[in-house]
Structure 1
Amino acid sequence: MQFLKNLFGGSEPEGLEASLGEIGVDMHSHILPGIDDGSESLEQSLELVRAMKALGYRKLIMTPHVMSDFYKNTPEIIREKLALLRQAVDEAGIEMELDCAAEYYLDEGLLQKLDDNEELLTFGDNYLLFETSFLNEPLNLREAIFKMRSKGYKPVLAHPERYTYFYGKYEELVGLKELGVLLQPNLNSLTGYYSSSAKEVAEKLVEHGLVDFLGSDTHGLKHINTLQKVVSTKHLVKALALPLRNRQL
Structure 2
Amino acid sequence: MPFSFFKSKRVTPDLSFIGVDMHSHLLPGLDDGVQYVADSVRFIATLKEMGYHHFVCTPHILHGIHPNSPETILPALDIMQKALQEANVQVGTGAAAEYMVDLEMEEALKKNQPILPLGKQYVLIEMSYAAPSSNIESTIFELQLQGYKPVLAHPERYNFFHHMPAQLTRLRDMGCLLQLNLLSLSDYYGTGVRRFAEKLVKENQIDFAGTDLHHQRHLDALIELASQKSFYQLLQPLKLRNQELA
Same fold (TM over 0.5): yes
Equivalent in the alignment of 1:219: 214
Shift of 1:166: 1.1
- 1:103 matches 2:91: no
Of residues 13, 16, 24 in structure 2, which corresponds to 1:16?
13
Shift of 1:175: 2.2
Cα 1:248–1:237, aligned 2, differ >3 Å: closer, same or farther?
farther
- 1:56 matches 2:55: no
Deviations 1:203-249 (A, max 9, x none): 00100001100000000111111111222163543322211000222
Of residues 234, 238, 241 in structure 1, which corresponds to 2:237?
241
- 1:201 matches 2:196: yes
For 2:188, give the aligned amino acid. Answer: Y
* Equivalent residue runs for 1:63-212 within 5 Å: 63-212=58-207
The range that moved more, 95-104 or 162-171, is 162-171
Aligned length: 235
> How far apart, CA to CA, are the structure 2 residues paired with 1:201 and 1:123?
25
For 1:73, give the aligned amino acid. Answer: N
> How far apart, CA to CA, are the structure 1 residues paired with 2:201 and 2:170?
16
> How far apart, CA to CA, are the structure 2 residues paired with 1:195 and 1:144?
29
Confirm or deny: 8 A CA contact 2:11 2:229 kept in the other structure: no
Structure 2: gaps spanning 5 or more residues: 1-9
What TM-score do you get using the length of structure 1 for normalisation?
0.91
What TM-score do you get using the length of structure 2 for normalisation?
0.92
> How far apart, CA to CA, are the structure 2 residues paired with 1:157 and 1:233?
27
User: 1:185 is paired with a residue of what secondary structure?
Assistant: strand
For 2:67, give the aligned amino acid. Answer: K
Equivalent in the alignment of 1:34: 29
User: 1:197 is paired with a residue of what secondary structure?
Assistant: helix
> How far apart, CA to CA, are the structure 2 residues paired with 1:63 and 1:236?
25
Confirm or deny: 8 A CA contact 1:30 1:36 kept in the other structure: yes
> How far apart, CA to CA, are the structure 1 residues paired with 2:119 and 2:234?
24
> How far apart, CA to CA, are the structure 2 residues paired with 1:192 and 1:236?
16
For 2:187, give the aligned amino acid. Answer: G
Equivalent in the alignment of 1:10: none
Alpha-carbon RMSD: 1.4
Equivalent in the alignment of 1:44: 39
Structure having greater relative contact order (Cα 8 Å, sep ≥ 6)? 2
Structure 1: gaps spanning 5 or more residues: 1-12
The percentage of counterpart residues that share the same residue type is: 37
For 1:75, give the aligned amino acid. Answer: P
Equivalent in the alignment of 1:3: none
